[in-house]
């Protein structure tokens, strides 16, 4: 079922006062693929993410999660249906340990039969820690970890819920090159398991390494969509980015 649409936006509109931050957007994140959303500051990427995740309500259009209309569902119900997200601004519980932070994610999605089995949350926590190479830090207070580690903790927390769709807002921000390399391997591996990944990313090199498909946004609209190399070479995209990226 690789290629099947897992998360879809149709005709999405979100206004702030007189501004159409998202001005009629269509997007699909398929199973087994990494999809990147790029565009200059103010293009509407965060607003689109908020509409997909449920933290913003669109003024028009639809959000479909696995074919189901979730446009009016709150965040936690989308999480239950298999959506997970990481944020540009890292938010961990500083006094909880790394493992306890990850466990929060494991307990947020009790939806399936497998998830209700005794010990399942602990197992999913352990698996997510291992995938991100965080075992050695599991018992350490999260508040004492550097930014790079906290990004991985956030990602582990998202993975602990075993999502089918993962939204990532600049996942490599603050990571060193070794951590970024690990992140790329992990994210590609997740796509290979059939997960649908959608990320906002500014670094074209990282987009090239990671993404199968790119959606390029400017002024609330999609200016180009298609295979990564094609979109990154599109003059409309380089123009919108102003060569500053």
Residue 212 CB burial class (10 angstroms; 0-12, 13-18, ≥19):
middle
Q: Can residue 37 be called a binding residue for ligand ATP (CB under 6 A)?
A: no
CA distance 32 to 78: 19
CA 200 – CA 137 distance, rounded (Å): 27
Give the per-residue contact string, 9-28, with ligand ATP (x = CB under 6 A; - = no).
-------x--x-x-------
171 binds ligand ATP (CB under 6 A): no
Structure tokens at 6: 């897992």
Q: Residue 42 Cβ, how far from ligand ATP at the closest point, in Å?
A: 4
**Residue 99: both structure tokens together:** 């493992």
Rounded to whole angstroms, the Cα distance separating 139 from 235 reads 49
Rule CB under 6 A: which of 39-68 touch ligand ATP? Answer: 39, 41-47
- Write the binding mask 213 to 242 for ligand ATP: x where contact by CB under 6 A, - elsewhere: ------------------------------
At residue 44, φ and ψ (nearest 5 deg) are: 115, 10
Please say which residue, 53 or 99, places its beta carbon nearer to ligand ATP.
Answer: 53
**Least distance in angstroms from the C-beta of 116 to ligand ATP:** 37
Q: What angle do CA 241, 242, 245 make, to 5 degrees?
A: 60
Pick the closer one to ligand ATP by CB: 42 or 227.
42
Binding site for ligand ATP (CB under 6 A): 16, 19, 21, 39, 41-47
């Amino acid at each position: 079922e690789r290629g099947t649409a897992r998360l879809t936006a149709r005709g999405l509109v979100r206004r702030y006062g007189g501004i159409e931050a998202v001005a009629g957007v269509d997007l699909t994140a398929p199973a087994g693929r990494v999809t990147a959303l790029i565009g200059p500051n103010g293009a509407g990427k965060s607003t689109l993410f908020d509409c997909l995740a449920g933290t913003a309500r669109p003024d028009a259009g639809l959000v479909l999660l696995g074919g189901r209309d979730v446009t009016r569902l709150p965040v936690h119900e989308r999480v239950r249906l298999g959506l997970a997200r990481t944020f540009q601004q890292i938010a961990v519980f500083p006094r909880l340990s790394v493992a306890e932070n990850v466990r929060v994610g494991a307990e947020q999605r009790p939806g399936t039969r497998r998830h209700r089995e005794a010990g399942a949350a602990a197992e999913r926590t352990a698996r997510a820690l291992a995938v991100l190479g965080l075992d050695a830090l599991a018992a350490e207070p999260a508040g004492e970890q550097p930014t790079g580690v906290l990004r991985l903790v956030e990602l582990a927390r998202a993975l602990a819920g075993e999502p089918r769709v993962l939204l990532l807002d600049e996942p490599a921000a603050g990571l060193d090159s070794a951590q970024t390399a690990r992140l790329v391997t992990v994210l590609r591996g997740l796509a290979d398991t059939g997960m649908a990944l959608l990320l906002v990313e500014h670094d074209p090199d990282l987009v090239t390494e990671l993404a199968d498909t790119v959606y390029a946004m400017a002024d609330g609209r999609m200016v180009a969509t298609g295979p990564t190399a094609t979109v990154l070479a599109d003059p409309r995209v380089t123009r919108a980015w102003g060569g500053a990226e």
